Amino acid sequence: MTQNVKLLEWVNYWKEILNPKSVHWCDGSETENQMILDNMVSSGSAVKLNEDIKPNSYYFQTDDSDVARIESRTFICSNDPKDAGPTNNWESPKKMKEEMMKVYRGAMKGRTMYVMPFSMGPLGSDKSYIGVQLTDSPYVVVHMRIMTRLGKAALDILGKDGTFIPCIHSVGYPLEEGQKDVKWPCCPIEEKYICQFPETKEIWSFGSGYGGNALLGKKSFALRIASVLGKEEGWLAEHMLILGITNPKGEKKYVAAAFPSACGKTNLAMVIPTIPGWKVETVGDDIAWMKFGKDGRLWAVNPENGFFGVVPQTSMDTNPNAFLTIQKNTLFTNVGLTPNNDVWWEGIGYDCPEGTLDWKNKVYDKTSSQPCAQSNSRFTTPIAQCPVVDPAYDEPNGVPISAILFGGRRQTIIPLIYEAKDWNHGVMIGSLIGSEITSAAIGLKEGDLRNDPFAMKPFCGYNMGDYFQHWIDMGKKTDKDKLPKIFCVNWFRKENGKFLWPGYGENSRILAYVFDRCNDEDIAIDSPIGKIPKPGGINIEGLDITEKDMEKVMRIDKKEWEEELSRAENFYNIFTHLPKELRQELKKIKDSF
C-alpha cells in the first residue's frame, strides 16, 4: 500500500462514490498481471493465443461502438473557455463535474476498482511525473502495465508526500447482484466522456474502455495535461517519435518527429536503413517530453514504456522491426483470430486462413468488402523487446535532439523535404501541418484535409494559439545554434494516383540527409519555402528513381503554394491568440514568391 495521506484520502473518497465490490492496489508484478489475464480468459473477455506461435500473448475484441478515440466527446474543462481555444471542445469544469458525478455514482458496482500508480517517463527522472489511475477495467490494467512504469516502484517514488496526477476511469457498466457481465462493457458514444481539467491537473473518463479514451497515461496525461505542465514550467510535451541515427563513421544524433496518426510514425521510428553503414534505433514511436539541459540543448525522454501501434499493414515487408517486436508478450485488439489461435490482419503478408474470425467475431468472408481487422486495430507491446530499441530509451536524462521533423499525409503541393530557415519559420511549418483524415478518429470523413498543427490538434490541453506562442518562446531560451534544426517531410506525394517516393525503409535516405544538414554539410539550396536539397543532395543510389523523378517529388509550384498560403491565412484567422511572429513568417514566404 502507501503512506501517502493525500493518495489514501483520494482513493477512499472515490471508493465511496464509485461503490466497487472490492479495491485492488496494483503492484505491477508478473504474478498480478497473469492473475488478471487468466481471469479475463476465464470470463471470455480475452483469448490466450497459441503459445507456440505467440508466446504470452492475448487477443481482445471491443464493442462495435468503442474502437477509437472519440474527439467529439473529449473536453478541455478550463475555467475560461478562451483557455481551451478554438480547436478544443470546451465545457465548464463545474458543470462537467456535476454532470459526471451523476454517472460516476455507483458506476463500479459489482466490479473491482483497481488503483494503478504509474510513472510517465523513466523511474526517478527529473523529466518524469507520477500518475494514479482508478479503473474498473482489467483490460486497462494489463495495457497500462505495458504502456507505463506501473506498480510498486512508482508508489515508492511518490513516497509519503509526493504529488500525482489523479486519473479516474470507469467503463460505466455497473453490475447488479447476479447480473451476467458482457464481453466488452461500455456506454453508447453520446454517453462517453474524456475530460481534462487543466487548472486542477485532473483527468476524468467514463463510458469507453478503449485506447486513449481509457489508458489515461497516454494522450490524456502524456499530452493534454503534460502540455499544460510544459507551458507552466517551460518545456514541451509533444506527439513525437524519437529515434537515434548513426552514420557510417559512428557519429550519432537523435531526431524527433511529429506526424498525425496513421502517417508512419511507428514505421519511421523503427526504420531499417537501406543505405549501407547507417543505423537507426528507437527511443519511442509516439510521445516526447523535451526539456533544455544545462548544456543549452533540448533533451527528450519517451514518457511511455510500450508501443500502442496500429496493426493493419504491419509486416516483414513494411516494418520488420515492429513485426518482430509483436511476436511475443503482446496484446492484440480487434484483429482477426485464426482457427489455431493466432492473429491475422490485412497487409500481414499472407492470405487469411479459412475459418478466421473477424474483429466482430464472425467467420471472415474473403469476398466481403469489410475488413477482417478493424482499421484502427492495435498491438500493445513492451519497448524493451524491440530489436532496435535504443540503449538510452530508459535513460533518466533523455537524449539530445538535433532535428525535429513535421509532416502530414499530403498527395500534392508539399515536397518530400524542406528545411526551416530558422526556429520561428519552423514553428510556422509545424503550425500549418495538415493531413488527410484517417480512421483513427470517430466523427470525421475520410479523405478530407484537416489542419493538425504539430500533430497536436486532438491533444493540446490549452489554447493552441498560446501553444504556438509557447513554441516561439522556447526558441528564446537558448543560443540559436543549440536549437534543433526543423524540417518538413511528406512521404505521400502522388502523381496520376501513384506515390512519387517509395517510403518505408527508403525514408532512411531522408534521415541521412537531415543528419548531414545537422552537420551543416553544403547539400541544400534556398527556395521560396525554405532550404531544399541540392541535386544529388539525397542519396538515391540503388533506387529506381532518376533525378527527374526527384524534381517531381520536390516540385514547388507557385500557384499551388498561393492556394496553400491562402488556406494557412484562413486557418490562422480562427485564432485570437495567434503570435504575431507566425503572420510575419507567412508574409515572408508570400513575398519570396
Residue 82: Cβ within 10 Å count: 15
The grid coordinates of residue 247 equal: 552514420
| Predicted confidence (pLDDT) per residue in 19-48, tens digit | 999 999 999 999 999 999 999 999 999 999
Q: What is the mean pLDDT of residues 347-355?
A: 97
The string of DSSP codes covering 126-181 is TT-EEEEEEES-HHHHHHHHHHSEESHHHHHHHTTT---EEEEEE-S----TTPPP
Q: Which neighbouring-strand residues pair with 206?
A: 170, 193
Give the tens place of pLDDT for each residue, 127-153. Answer: 999 999 999 999 999 999 999 999 999
Output the 3-class SS for 183-234: CCCCCCHHHCEEEEECCCCEEEEECCCCHHHHCCHHHHHHHHHHHHHHHHHC
User: Cell numbers at residue 296, please?
Assistant: 543549452
Residue 18 has pLDDT above 60, yes or no: yes
Residue 441: predicted pLDDT: 52
For residues 141 and 104, the answer to whether their CB atoms sit within 8 Å is no
* Mean pLDDT (the chain, rounded): 96
Active site residues: 263
pLDDT in tens, 288-314: 999 999 999 999 999 999 999 999 999
Q: Using CA atoms of 408, 413, 419, 420 in order, give the dihedral in degrees to the nearest 10.
A: -90
Nearest-CA neighbor of 568 among 552, 553, 585?
585
Predicted TM-score of the model (pTM): 0.96
Classified as helix, coil or strand, 345 is: coil
CA nearest to 33, candidates 144, 129, 122, 133: 144
- 142: cell is 494489463
Q: How high is the pLDDT of residue 85? A: 97
> CA–CA separation, 397 vs 123, rounded Å?
11
Q: Residue 435: pLDDT band by 50, 70, 90 thresholds? A: confident
400: β partners: 299
Domains of the chain plus CATH, in order, are 5-45+73-233 (3.40.449.10), 237-306+390-592 (3.90.228.20)
Other Cβ atoms less than 10 A from the Cβ of 85: the count is: 21
Cα–Cα nearest to 159, from 137, 187, 130:
130
User: Which tens digits make up the pLDDT trace of 525-555?
Assistant: 999 999 999 999 999 999 999 888 999 999 9
The set of residues, in sequence order, having a beta carbon less than 8 Å from that of 591 and lying 6+ positions away, is none
